[in-house]
A = this chain, B = another copy of it.
């Protein structure tokens, strides 16, 4: 019998690659996506498209975080546009306080319900926006908290697997291309327009990744950052 896992699936490039990785590793995956009052539901649509492509079940957690947790991603102010160089230097206004903490907590509850031991998350400690809940030390501390809090000991211990943790975006893309991840279905932009904006942290990190990987990004952008050469 396959080992069960919960995969946090935003519908973005990273989490979609992680899903493909977990399936390749033989896990029976349940996707978990979050609707927390983001600026737009576009990434939720991508999560649905990706999970349907892979034939996995997708659970949709809906939570009204935007009513009391402030971030430009939950509708307070607008998404900052910064130079690619400054992205890793300071915490952007797209930071949603405690978001990964909350998502992993809910994943732990779902995991106990389905009877699995692994939570996969597409976080990345290199090409990322500087969020504290993407750092390796956070995942270690959180793993301990959920094991203590769910009383999971011995062979029932829960593991938070962060396979992309030490990969650059270009390496993630190369890995995903090998596994045939349908990147045309993914959505990374913080804005929810028809085409990706090309200017938010997430778009710039993604475009730099594709550029460095030497493959074209299959999604459409309305604008390209200065550094980008097709």
User: Which chain B residues border A147 with CB–CB below 8 Å?
Assistant: 141
- The reply to whether the CB of A4 lies closer than 8 angstroms to some CB of chain B is no
- The reply to whether the CB of A97 lies closer than 8 angstroms to some CB of chain B is yes
The majority secondary structure among interface residues of chain A is helix
- The reply to whether the CB of A150 lies closer than 8 angstroms to some CB of chain B is yes
A115-156: CB near B (< 8 Å → 1, else 0) gives: 000000000000000001101011001101111111100000
CB <8 Å contact, A101 and B149: yes
User: Which chain B residues border A41 with CB–CB below 8 Å?
Assistant: none
A91-133: CB near B (< 8 Å → 1, else 0) gives: 1000011111110111011111100000000000000000011
From residue A6, how far is it (CB to closest CB) to chain B in Å? 10
Cα distance A64–B35 in the bound complex, in angstroms: 11
Cα distance A91–B227 in the bound complex, in angstroms: 57
- The reply to whether the CB of A65 lies closer than 8 angstroms to some CB of chain B is yes
From residue A7, how far is it (CB to closest CB) to chain B in Å? 14
User: Which chain B residues border A137 with CB–CB below 8 Å?
Assistant: 148
- The reply to whether the CB of A24 lies closer than 8 angstroms to some CB of chain B is no
CB <8 Å contact, B141 and A68: no
Q: List 12 A-B contacts (CB under 8 A).
A: A59-B68, A61-B64, A69-B112, A98-B146, A101-B105, A101-B108, A102-B102, A102-B106, A133-B149, A141-B145, A141-B147, A144-B144
